[in-house]
A and B are shown apart, each in its own frame.
Chain A
Amino acid sequence: MEMLLSWGEVFTVVLTGLVIVFAALIILIAVVWAYGKVFTAINKNKQDKNDKKPDEKAAVTQTAGSAQAVTTGSAQAAASGIPQGVIAAITAAVAAFTDGKGVVTGIAVKKPRKSGKRRSTEWGYAGTVSSMKNLSRTGW
């Protein structure tokens, strides 16, 4: 079996190929690592800011006496007709979520807002019909 390539040519191809593939992927590692660091730092800063805000609020509330606030909140909620079991569950959930730093000062029941009167049903219907016509014309 006769070789059409010399060993020198073969090793040139192999060496060049391996060096270029490794070089390209090492450069990609550097780029991805660098921007990964940047984004990790940005995300960390954001998280720190978010963590600070509830801390500050909790600190202010705690100076006023958290037990009192909870009692006040619960009392207010109870006065508005919310069952004690629901109040206890919400208070426990908030405490667990905020590692005991958050304080429930009041619970309010908000009914979903009505979206108001529907605008001109006839115009809406006409628009829908028109859109459907266009769609069928273009073959969608």
Chain B
Amino acid sequence: MEIKSFSETIIGVLQESGIYYLFTEPDGIKRLIMILISFVFMYLAIKKKFEPLLLLPIAFGMLLTNLPYAEMFHPELFDGEINFSNVLHEGGLLDLLYLGVKLQIFPPLIFLGIGCMTDFGPLIANPKSFLLGAAAQAGIFLTFIGAAFFGFTPEECGSIAIIGGADGPTAIYVSTQLLSGGVSQTGIPFGIDVGVIALAAYTYMALVPVIQPPIMRLLTTKQERSVKMDALRPVSQTEKILFPIIVTIVINFLVPSATPLVGMLMLGNLFKESGVVGRLEKTAQNELMNIVTIFLGISVGATTVADKVLSPRFLQVLLLGVVAFAIGTACGVLFGKIMYLVTGKKVNPLIGSAGVSAVPMAARISQKVGSETDPTNFLLMHAMGPNVAGVIGSAVAAGVLLNIIG
């Protein structure tokens, strides 16, 4: 048995260290930059409170996956058709968690929790709000044009466009399906991945209070902003119970590919409105949702490898993401203006911007901008209608994209 000298041992330990890897291996510097980027996202989540519930686990997942020798996530296991036996035998913790994303389990479960927390009463009282929810989805489809112009593949275009839905789980749901396999139908390797889409989506969702107000003020007059809307009619419990059942059936009949998201959203809402399964409702909106949020965040963060993030493609995604949000907001407000004219100045166009789903932040922005013009104007409940319609609208848009491109 040969005992190494002190210097040999020290050199051996150093050569096997993460620091040595970072500064000697070809992808070392890239990993170091990714680690620094993860710090930036952690800062945004902790200090700036940018969607911290998801951005923090995503940022930490990014850190874990880029640490040298950690081997916590193996993207190669998910290239092409997944060999589940390989994943179970060779995969680490993050590989196993990522199965929940890859198999479309986590986003619908998040929707279950969202359904438990959503009150569709304002939408049932004023069903015309659905139109504003639909109009705001124009941001998704118009951004598709921009993504195509930048030379992205159809699958990438669909994944980028869905950022405009301002709905993180929906963006992850769509991009996971469209970007699975690593190459497009025409054989071109994808330049982006799910992690990139999730990062852009959650960053912009946090920036809704910054992005929306200038657009809302620009597109409306003071007279339009000061419109006081009539009080909503009271909605009976029976109506609230029937709503999730009817919506699930109608959406399934029209856009079956949207059923997993809409179905789970409506199941959660039925838990809430039925009033007979308090325990299930509580679990779905608290414990289950929190657990799934951790798993979803950390596993999506793990997919952010240097090759995909440190490229001009990521910057283009960021640019298109903000364009998608802006177009969605503008289309919602413009449709609100149409409703303002058609209804004889009874609709405040500001509630249109809430159609970009981000619940309830977008509705709060409508209230805030409205109260700037007239502090006695309370638009929050009126804006909640388009806001929850936007959740259904973005899920339908997701189903349409999967149907056309997937």
Contacts and interface: CB of A to CB of B under 8 A. Distances in A.
Interface of A: 1-5, 9-11, 13-14, 16-18, 20-29, 31-33, 35-36, 39-40, 43
B238 A14 contact: no
B239 A20 contact: no
Among A18, A23, A33, the most chain B Cβ lie within 10 Å of the Cβ of: A18
Contact of A4 (B153, B158, B396): B153
A17 B392 contact: no
Contacts of B166: none
Contacts of B34: none
A13 B141 contact: yes
B144 A32 contact: no
B130 A25 contact: yes
Contacts of A39: 236, 238-239
Contact of A16 (B124, B130, B404): B404
Contacts of A13: 141, 144, 154, 157-158, 401, 404-405
Contact of A32 (B124, B397, B401): B124
Contacts of A17: 137, 140-141, 144, 397, 400-401, 404
B151 A28 contact: no
Interface of B: 123-125, 127-128, 130-131, 133-134, 137-138, 140-142, 144-145, 148-154, 157-158, 186, 188, 233, 236, 238-239, 242-243, 246-247, 250-251, 254-255, 389, 392-393, 396-397, 400-401, 404-405
B142 A14 contact: yes
A25 B236 contact: no
Interface centre among B127, B144, B149 (most CB of A within 10 A): B127
Nearest to B152: A4
Which among B134, B243, B251, B397 has the greatest number of chain A C-beta atoms within 10 A?
B134
Chain B CB within 10 Å — which of A2, A36, A43 has the most? A36
A26 B404 contact: no
Given A1-B151, A13-B405, A39-B239, A28 B247 contact: yes
Given A13-B157, A14-B141, A25-B389, 15 more contacts: A5-B154, A13-B158, A14-B142, A17-B144, A18-B138, A20-B400, A22-B134, A24-B251, A25-B133, A25-B392, A26-B130, A28-B130, A31-B250, A35-B239, A43-B236
A32 to B, nearest CB: 4
B149 to A, nearest CB: 6
A57 B142 CA distance: 64
Nearest to B403: A20
Nearest to A1: B151
Contacts of A26: 130-131, 134
B144 A10 contact: yes
Contact of B134 (A10, A21, A35, A40): A21
Contact of B255 (A5, A24, A33): A24
20 contacts: A1-B149, A4-B152, A9-B148, A13-B144, A13-B154, A17-B140, A17-B144, A20-B255, A20-B396, A21-B137, A21-B393, A24-B250, A24-B254, A24-B396, A25-B392, A31-B246, A32-B246, A35-B242, A36-B124, A36-B127
A4 B405 CA distance: 14
A2 B246 contact: no
Contacts of A3: 148-149, 151
A94 B247 CA distance: 44
B270 to A, nearest CB: 16
A108 B301 CA distance: 70
A55 B402 CA distance: 60
A22 B3 CA distance: 76
A27 B246 CA distance: 11
B126 to A, nearest CB: 9
B390 to A, nearest CB: 10
A128 B136 CA distance: 57
